[in-house]
Structure 1
Amino acid sequence: MAVKNLGANGAKLDNIKEKDYNPSYEYLGTKSLLFKSITGSSEIFYIIYHYVVIFFALLTRLIYIHKPSEVIFDEVHFGKFASHYLEHEYYFDLHPPMGKICISLLGQLVNYNGAFKFDDIGIQYPEGVPFLLYRLFNCMLGVGICSFIFKILKELKLKPITCFLGAMFVVFDNSHVIESRLILLDAQLNFWIVASIYAFIRFYKLQLNVKKNFTASWYLWLNLTGLFLSFVISIKYVGVFTFIMIGMAVAFNLWQLLDKDAQISDKTLLKHFLLRVQALIVCPFVYYLFWFYLHFKILYKSGPGDDFMSPEFQRTLEESPVLKEARDLNYFDIVNFRMSDMNCMLYSNQELKYPLQYPDGRISSQGQQVSCTGNEYSDDNSWWQILPTVEGVNNNHGVAINAVVQLKHIKSNSILKAHDVASPQHPTNEEITTVLVDDVNNENYEFTLFKLEFVSGKPTDPAVPQMKTKYNKFKLVHVKTQVALLAHPEPILPDWAWGHFEVNGNKKIQEKTNQIWSIDSIKDLPSERDFSSSDKFEQPKMSFFKKYFELQKRMFESNNALSSDHPFASSPEEWPLSLSGVSYWNDDSSRRQIFFIGNLVGWWLQMAFVLIYVVVVILDLMFDRRGFVLIDKFTRDSVYGSLMWLFLGWLAHYLPFFLMNRQKFLHHYLPAHLILCVFTAQFIEVGTYAKFIPSDCNDDAKIEGNQKLNCIKLHVLCIAIIVAVVFFFNYWRALTYGLETLSVEESLARQWFDIKLQYVK
């Protein structure tokens, strides 16, 4: 049975008057995804414009790509992760592994060993580090993004000049150029986003021709859409927004097929549904899991990411300290406590006292401070002795999981204590201090009791639930007041506490961030207990799905914890107009810098056309409600078709960021910006040819004259916008490439809105 094409408002094309039908319009669905060509254009112009796009994309991204030959911005992370892959060392990151694995494969191709760890921004790349190859990879993807934007617009049946305009929005966008020249994930992410959209449009157009349903090309483009979508979400989890965008079109298309006028059998309809589920949900999830399988296979050695994972996970890694160095823990052992998330030690010093009064007028206990530090001191103030709370226990008794103990600070001969006094910088939490052993009496004894509350590290021998150093993770929960010891990464304590991290009692003991502890080592370990842990521990196996689910949980927890302030973080309402940016790199000696912002001409124009589009839709709906016609039928189909889909796709990639509590930066907006480039180009062409007061004129000569005039207007408008975009790109050139030194006056002239540049004095 043939699927009947339906026009706007569900009217069948068979019922449209012959004079109203223009065969140059190609319908791709009821009130949705109308991809049209106003007039036929020679294919040669598409080819020429496409080559021009590729040429300028290569030029803007390749030029001096080796400069500066220093670690720039987040190269410090993603270059480092690639090195860990090459050395097979386990690391932890918030993003899925595909993007970093792809970078590491380039290093593998040139036999790079991953020795350089990209430790700090501004470090000069030593000889032998393939940073240029890494950057070239992203550069080629950046060129591919520009090419796909052109191809998407061509598939939408737009004129060559319109395709050219949409692509040039990206070619000469300062933010996209920067992201394509550095070792970052955004070029990979954005490439697969536009590839997914392109593949879906190819599939969508095929499926509207019933004769091409279930053909080889139909299957190919459907499954390529799913494959590319899986790549998007395998690089960054914001890729789920692209699933939403394409999912909206798929859902609407299935709704079309449900229409009785489509004359599709129940069996065929079920086949359509199941094949979409297979290609766009099941297979992408399998592909996505594949990258995690590679992740675990490649990273089989202990590395810097161990502490983020459970002890059970860590024991599966070669050379893991949890496997090699864990020791049974007995009462009266002298140990140090490590905060897992911050890699700092529980510390106290009899020379450091809480001040009598804080700046806000609160009074402290003036007791001995307890803090957390990297333990770079040689004063042995991080050693604590585990004391039993029941009689008859000696140093041969093991400390059981969930045991209640006292912790004696060795250097000051005092006992750890929590009490109902406000902590220095977090008044809602309790102050943690110590009390001299001789001063512990019946009244304050219960304030010195802490429970080693189990978090992870199941006993290797369930019959003997004895704790082990490095292996067991726990909370230090105060028995009397039910608070858990929490270390705060910021703000750090003032000079009177030597700038340590504050430790206090957190009433929200269900939280896990920064309040999970482990025992790192035992001081003066008796020789009879100094055994090789291999005598007791064998490297265990852990199933892929257990590893996967544990890693997923840690990734989402850590992502939600990224809520601290950052000098270049920005809120989503600033993004569409690029009101602020990010300093990626600067060099004090030459006073050069790279500053990340979008091309303001392009970004502001795009938002202007979005607002115009919204006004047109509202007015058209109001006119239609009152029985009047505002725009002609074919323009209306575009407005509620592909333009509406692109508009909703932009919203899907933008609005969710308003719901996120984590740090947000301008580069998070780039996928939404790419969709807006396509939307703006199409809207300009549709608006140029639109008839806002439809005419019944049958004068073919007049119609042809209007078409030629509209074509001239479209070309003039597109060329004018492109010139303006190129002008701004050149104006910001020095801050895009970091190759030129601007004077103070030139820097100040570019410091608009919330943009904060270096060297403005």
Structure 2
Amino acid sequence: MSMYLVDESVLSIVAFFISFYKIWYPAQVVFDETHFGKFAGYYIKRTYFFDVHPPLAKLMFAAVGYLLGFDGQFEFENIGETYIGQSVPYIGLRALPATLNVASVALMYGIMQQSGYSLVTCIIPAGLYLLDNAIVAQNRLILLDGIMIFFMLCTIYSFVRFRKLRRNEFSVSWWGWLLATGTCMALNLSVKMVGLFLVGAIGMATLVDMWELLCIQRGLTWKRLSGHFIARCVGLIALPIIVYLGSFYIHFAVLTFSGPGDVFMSADFQNTLQLSPLRLQSLDVEYYNNITLMHKDTKAFLHSHNYKYPVPYEDGRISSGGQQVVAANEVDGNSYWRIRPTKPLPINGEPVVVRHGDVIQLEHIETESLLITHDVASPLLPSQQEFTTVPFDEQYYNDTLFTVHIEGAEENSVWRTFGRPVRLIHQKTKVALWSRREKLPAWAFHHQDVNGNRNQLHSGTYWVASDIQGRNATEINQEKEYTVEKRPFWLDFLELQILMLKYNSGLKDDHPYASRPVSWPLMLRGVAYWGNEATREQIYITGNIAGWWIGLASLGLFATIASINAIAQKRGISLIQKPVRQRFMNSGGFFAVLWLLHYFPFFGMQRVLYLHHYLPAVICNYLLVGTVFHFLFVSGIDFPVTGNITLQRARGSIKSWLAAVMLLSTQLAVFVFLAPLTYGNPGLPSEQVDRRKLFKTWDLQYGSK
């Protein structure tokens, strides 16, 4: 055991120097430091922002920045913006993922050691990780991946320790490692949503574990089995949920002031923030107010004018010939509508607010006519109803009635400008006022189509009261006592989760350094993170081609050996000793599943992707390299004592040590060769840049080609 500790300590020391080498360089914003450095500043200023990733890593950066005296004023606006003279502790912020990267090297070693592998085998995955250019470059910047990878490895390490204690069930250590697995798994997910891949892997391994416990030979009673099931539900479901929720609870507790993320959130949420502009702009909507109605999705305004629908349309259909009702991009005199009551109001003339469920009429101010819809086909969609206006006449009364439905409102909730959107449901025909981006022909001046949708819950049926004619909301609200509203945490949490998933999947803009998953294992594309044309220095993220290709070979070898073994077993042939086979299949199979689940889901994603999304899969692949290496080069098996079974601990032979030296020497040579691109220093002449362009598809800067 002492040799293991010495070896792990040496690896950690080397990892420290590799991770912290010139960490102060460049003293400029690099790649997505523009986002995550800025977000740390928002936490320190306590101003609300929106991001597609969960909050934990950004909270950690904010905590480090706060402890180092960062005031959050530096905005991290552009790649290449200097840190010098800006009072931003960028070295300290970068030191957080760099420190965790050093710990991750120790965890790689520890995972293999706790899995029962020999000393030489433990060095292989840790050394490959240590000397991977992409991992080093990624995990020494103000980025999320280094923190996520650390928690991923903590989860794997804890789960291996938990599995080792399967013969010592319900002991203090057994419970400790089970709860540690669930906690670390949740922390990983709290950094990035791709942590769901690890949740899936641990879930699959747990199901296999529970299936084995059902075996009658184990002799477990149903009561004992129920205990195992409940323990895993507590440790791997309930506890992770609590930890994950906790990170968002802190997020909302810190961000209490209005900020750039307001616009992504609902009006109800914005009203919970201090100094919310929405709160200052919001007024109760009262009867006889003249308002503008803004379509929630398209931001166009309900509009009418003194022009008629053509009779007939170009396709021969007949319209009502009534006044056109459309949606316009700009507000003018034709965009104001007066809210008329359909119930008696107090005779004392006191203002009466419009509430959820009220039935109203909408009068078009400019043409002194009432909004209606009726059983006439709309201009562009024969299946939908036409909207028009009619003069004040009793015969049209029932056609002019609309019910106000405020989104998510309770009974008697007040309609407010810039508040919750409303649906206006026609009383007689039950269609909802609807608009979409489709433009009408020239006879309607190419304004936006408006009609009646029978699907009342369609997203296009929501409108927002955006202005009350003659009333200055800011002046009125400044005279009132300002009270920040409260809302249950779970509503904030659910709203943010939905938005995160929506916007994450919607990141489809083209990017010059984007790549698809099929190219990642072969490393056909990298990502340019930073460049300085004056000094010819650049940071270009690309992995260590030696380690990545060895990883691919190990995947192929593992699949081949596993397949041959399965066929032989079916034929009653034992090609591999049982203990060796079990270790190879169980440990290697777990690492292979980890790789599969951290890689193949990306093929189903349409959002923009980059090479660094493959790094968690690479790390799992390195663990599998260790398994295959042990099988090929180490005699015997390094197996802990379990029950009454005692297997002799394997010793690395001269052959295995020579193989390890050759493998890691190749990794080291490639690492050193690509190091100028990893650290951004020194700058290289054109011919040296060209030499490092190992593939034509690499987008290196400052080369001659």
Contact 2:37 2:76 in 1 (8 A): yes
SS in 2 for 1:641: helix
Change (3 A) 1:558 1:111: same
Unaligned runs of 5+ in 2: 304-325, 344-350, 372-376, 392-399, 439-447, 637-647
- For 1:353, the equivalent position in structure 2 comes to none
Cα deviation for residue 611 of structure 1 reads 0.9
Cα deviation for residue 137 of structure 1 reads 0.8
1:253 aligns to 2:234 (yes or no)? no
- For 1:10, the equivalent position in structure 2 comes to none
How many angstroms apart in 1 are the aligned matches of 2:45 and 2:601? 37
Give the partner amino acid of 2:540. F
SS in 1 for 2:653: helix
1:293 aligns to 2:264 (yes or no)? no
1:618 aligns to 2:563 (yes or no)? yes
1:128 aligns to 2:84 (yes or no)? no
Cα deviation for residue 483 of structure 1 reads 9.5
Cα distance per residue 1:270-310 (max 9 Å; x no partner): 22222222122111211221112211111111222122222
- For 2:29, the equivalent position in structure 1 comes to 71
Change (3 A) 1:632 1:526: closer
Change (3 A) 1:473 1:596: farther
How many angstroms apart in 1 are the aligned matches of 2:332 and 2:678? 49
Contact 1:346 1:371 in 2 (8 A): yes
- For 1:226, the equivalent position in structure 2 comes to 182
Give the partner amino acid of 2:33. E
Moved more, 610-619 or 236-245: 236-245
- For 1:15, the equivalent position in structure 2 comes to none
Contact 1:389 1:405 in 2 (8 A): yes
Q: What does 1:110-121 correspond to in 2, within 5 Å?
A: 110-121=68-79
Which of the residues 664, 671, 676 maps onto 1:729?
A: 671
Cα distance per residue 1:375-395 (max 9 Å; x no partner): 9xxxx9899444779999xxx
Q: What does 1:188-587 correspond to in 2, within 5 Å?
A: 188-208=147-167, 210=168, 213-329=169-285, 333=290, 337=294, 384-386=335-337, 456=407, 458=409, 463=412, 467-473=415-421, 485=435, 518=464, 521=467, 525=471, 530-532=475-477, 535=480, 538-587=483-532
1:589 aligns to 2:560 (yes or no)? no
Contact 1:196 1:229 in 2 (8 A): yes
Cα deviation for residue 80 of structure 1 reads 1.6
TM-score normalised over the length of structure 1:
0.73
Change (3 A) 1:405 1:144: farther
SS in 1 for 2:540: strand
SS in 2 for 1:237: coil
How many angstroms apart in 2 are the aligned matches of 1:594 and 1:620? 45
- For 1:755, the equivalent position in structure 2 comes to 698
Cα distance per residue 1:547-580 (max 9 Å; x no partner): 2222222222222322333332222222222222
How many angstroms apart in 2 are the aligned matches of 1:531 and 1:666? 53
Contact 1:89 1:302 in 2 (8 A): yes
SS in 1 for 2:654: helix
How many angstroms apart in 1 are the aligned matches of 2:509 and 2:66? 36
Cα deviation for residue 82 of structure 1 reads 1.3
TM-score normalised over the length of structure 2:
0.78
- For 2:394, the equivalent position in structure 1 comes to none
Change (3 A) 1:315 1:638: same
- For 1:359, the equivalent position in structure 2 comes to none
Change (3 A) 1:660 1:526: closer
Give the partner amino acid of 2:489. F
How many angstroms apart in 2 are the aligned matches of 1:589 and 1:503? 54
Cα deviation for residue 173 of structure 1 reads 0.8
Cα deviation for residue 326 of structure 1 reads 0.7
Give the partner amino acid of 1:525. R
SS in 2 for 1:532: helix
Change (3 A) 1:535 1:198: same
Contact 1:484 1:509 in 2 (8 A): no
Give the partner amino acid of 1:135. R
Change (3 A) 1:256 1:77: same
Change (3 A) 1:387 1:123: farther
Cα deviation for residue 419 of structure 1 reads 8.2
Which of the residues 171, 184, 197 maps onto 2:143?
A: 184
Give the partner amino acid of 1:84. Y
- For 1:681, the equivalent position in structure 2 comes to 626
- For 2:685, the equivalent position in structure 1 comes to 743
Q: What does 1:609-758 correspond to in 2, within 5 Å?
A: 609-689=554-634, 711-749=653-691, 750=693, 752=695, 754-758=697-701
Change (3 A) 1:675 1:121: same
How many angstroms apart in 2 are the aligned matches of 1:585 and 1:612? 37
Cα deviation for residue 57 of structure 1 reads 1.4
How many angstroms apart in 1 are the aligned matches of 2:436 and 2:684? 47
Contact 1:484 1:506 in 2 (8 A): yes
Give the partner amino acid of 1:664. L
Q: How many residues align?
A: 644
